[in-house]
Chain A
Amino acid sequence: MDYELPSEFDLIVVGTGMIESIVAAAASRIGKRVLHIDSNNYYGGLWASFNLDSISNILNSASNIETNLEVKQFLTENEKIYQFGNDAFHMHTHSQIWHIPEKANEQTETEQSDLPTECIQKEEESWTQEKLLKNSRKFNIDIAPKLHFARGDFVELLISSNIARYSEFRSVSRVLTWLNGQLEVVPCSRSDVFSSTKVSVIEKRMLMKLLTSCVDGDEKEFVGYENKTFRTYLKDRKLTDNLIHYVLYAIAMATDTTPCLEGVENTKRFLSSLGRFGKTPFLYSMYGSGEITQAFCRLSAVFGGVYALSQPLNGLIFNNENKFKSLLCGQQRISAEHLVMGIEKLPKEFVNFTATQFISRAVFVIDRSIMASEKENLTLLLFPPEDGKNPCTMIEVGPLTGTCPKDTYIVHMFTKQTTNPEEDFKHCVERLFGNSKNESETGEKENLLPNVLWSFYYTVPNTVNLDLKNGIPKNIFVCPGPDLDLDYDPAIAQAKAIFNEIYPDLEFLPRAPDPEEIIIEGEDNNNIVTEGENLTDQPIDEATEAVADLQIETSNDHGEGSSGIEQGEAE
């Protein structure tokens, strides 16, 4: 590289995970000199998305630390250096397995000429590893998939900070649950409830009444339930078993032991996001959740943040008072007042905490949706707890989200770990996926379970509740990894807390100006761009409109580079 990094910054951020990226954006936004640096050659850290080729390589990504570098030569007297990275907080792969042959069977090919046309087509339709890998680039597989509440902290932050212009979203089109041995659509809006054929008229009235009292019910409604479960409350409201299932496991995303007030809060969170952008309260980021960290990095860069990936991070340098001074990048010392870093980058010497909770995660590439339908759906499936298993959250995304090729879907699963991912999801996998070798015999495609083409099981430590200040030098701030929340609420809260600690009196991500509002001043007076001039020759209302709100992708075709971006809120 021809360019050299500057040697002094206000803030160095190591790692490009979600929280790190938000802090970098916020600091650049208020004019701080920020270096955002990563040893990985991709953005996102533990929050990234990968294509099919690269996801198999993240597991053994070679570190580019120069092990034989004599680091002492870069230190002055009384300084200490610690190497980046620890083994405690990385993701841990259990298995990554292909469930299809590597190549099309050559024998079948030679036989093809004798077979009727129908069979030849059949053969062409089936997936091989080769064929999927040819489409590798069309995959954006999240390792920390997220949905966004339409009126949640994340969406509000995107809009208020004007970061919304860097990403596009699609509405989740259905919320499913597993009820009485099959998948059922959860009626979530008022119109859903009334049009549902699975809910009787009496149940409809009961459900509407309950949801209303959860949203704007006064304090008295829940008096006496402070120490009782949400389930008890629902029982006391005389809800039928089906309704309790919908409200408890889907709408409130709760369990049988969730306290009443927490269940009410969750219900409110769900209901208050209804009716803004689509039929459900949720959005999904086009091209995967990994895009989101990049949107924050883009904002930081626009405001002067310096970005460097694939860097040889050779160590952190401390003075004799155990205060962070500089980092050693290659052979260059780069100093800053403060350091923010992802937990997986923390030197071993500072690991004074251990994760006690883990998240089981799995990703499946499948050949059709878990619940067939005329239109492509974007699905949230809340699998209820059963037989000592924790409730599992699943997100199914299709080609229209820009995360997988035509004729495939991706299913993400995550849950609080009890044993290991394979065991934790076993009951779900058995019910949702099939291995239908007899496809041609039955001929009824609609009733077939999807086949798993590729699967990936892994574990991530849940570090969001650890005391990440314990034994950490005062000018270092450690960011936890991905958590179990469906949205980014805890991540935003963490980022905000770190920002407020470093810059107590400064505003967190104020609205970034639109390009039309920026006035460039220069020595050449004839060419100063003034806001007035600008306004006259541009349709400014149109321009600001385009970025003032979320961009929701609504097109329904598979065309590339589609321009069907529509703004604004749904009625």
Chain B
Amino acid sequence: MAKTYDYLFKLLLIGDSGVGKTCVLFRFSEDAFNTTFISTIGIDFKIRTIDLDGKKIKLQIWDTAGQERFRTITTAYYRGAMGIMLVYDITNEKSFENIKNWIRNIEENASSDVEKMLLGNKCELEEKRQVSKERGEQLAVEYGIKFIETSAKASIRVEEAFFTLARDIKAKMEKKLVSHVYNDCF
């Protein structure tokens, strides 16, 4: 069977309950928004194939299946993940504070070279904002990762976020391939 893609990237969504991980996932994979899937029943992962610089990239994006609620995400969830979207809710201070716990969790369980990105979701709710954009940016700088504010509901910058993450993974991968070739030659 011919491959219909050049690369397959496994991506994860991580963050507190209720920050909108599943909504972000559906906005990106189906261009749909739905308020009824409050708890994530039956959603395992979603697939979308995108074009990047002439390459077809199949993104397999995994949801936490509610196991984030009591911090019981399985170590198996992290296996083979190449990119992680860390999501918080800009109207929920606590979800922002917990990002550092999630990063610790990632450091313990994921591959050390996993590409990470920070998302401040629900940016359409400006009037309820508890976490300023600057604080988000600052935290991202601290961890040396990229940051974007999104709205799954209003469809703001969700595409951009996933494309950015995918582009960074692709760049890292190609760099690795080049250095392998280089090492083999000399």
A residues in contact (CB < 8 Å) with B: 1-3, 5, 43, 137, 165-168, 286-287, 290-291, 294-295, 297-298, 301-304, 306-309, 402, 512-513, 515-516, 518, 520-524, 527-529, 534, 538-539, 541-543, 545-546, 559-561, 563, 565
Instruction: Indicate whether A306 sits within 8 Å of B36 (C-beta atoms), given known contacts A43-B75, A561-B80.
Output: no
Expressed in whole angstroms, the Cα–Cα distance for A516 and B70 within the complex equals 28
Question: Residues 19-59 of chain B: 1 if any A CB is under 8 Å from the residue's CB, otherwise 0?
Answer: 00000001000101111110111111111110000000010
B37's nearest neighbour on chain A, judged by CB, is A520
Given A302-B43, A304-B39, A523-B35, A166 contacting B76 (CB threshold 8 A): yes
Within the assembled complex, what's the spacing in Å between the Cα atoms of A527 and B155?
A: 12
A291-B75, A524-B34, A560-B112 in contact; A168/B80 too (CB < 8 A)?
yes
CA distance A510 to B43 in the complex (A): 17
> Who on chain B is nearest to A534 by CB?
B30
Q: A294 with B48: in contact, given A307-B70, A542-B4 (CB under 8 Å)?
A: no
Contacts known (A294-B76, A295-B76, A561-B113); A538 close to B44, Cβ less than 8 A: no
CB distance from A533 to the nearest CB of B (A): 8
How far apart sit A541 and B4, CA to CA, in the bound complex (Å)? 10
Chain A residues closer than 8 Å to B79, beta-carbon distance:
168, 286-287, 291, 402
- Bound state CA distance, A523 and B32, in angstroms? 12
Known: A291-B76, A538-B48. A302 touches B42 (CB 8 A): yes
A563 to B8, Cβ gap below 8 A?
Answer: yes
Our count of residue pairs bridging A and B at CB distance below 8 angstroms stands at: 133
A46 to B130, CA, bound (A): 44
| Stretch of B61-69, B119-127, B135-143, B156-164 lying at the A interface | B61-69
Per the CB 8 Å criterion, the residue count for chain B at the interface is 51
Shortest C-beta distance, A251 to chain B (Å), equals 32
A selection of 19 A-B contacts at a CB cut-off of 8 Å is: A1-B70, A168-B80, A287-B79, A294-B74, A295-B76, A298-B67, A302-B43, A302-B65, A306-B69, A306-B70, A308-B70, A515-B47, A518-B42, A522-B34, A524-B33, A539-B5, A539-B58, A560-B112, A563-B7
Q: With a CB–CB cut-off of 8 A, which chain A residues contact B48?
A: 538
Contacts of A304 in B (CB 8 A): 39, 41-42, 66
The distance from the CB of B146 to the nearest CB of chain A, in whole angstroms, is 19
> In the complex the two chains form, is A515's CB within 8 Å of B46's CB?
yes
Which residue of B is nearest A543, CB measured? B47
Are B76 and A560 in contact, with the CB atoms below 8 A? no
- A298 lies within 8 A of B74 (CB): yes
> Cβ of B114 < 8 Å from any Cβ of A?
yes
6 nearest interchain CB pairs? A294-B74, A301-B65, A307-B72, A522-B34, A527-B32, A294-B76
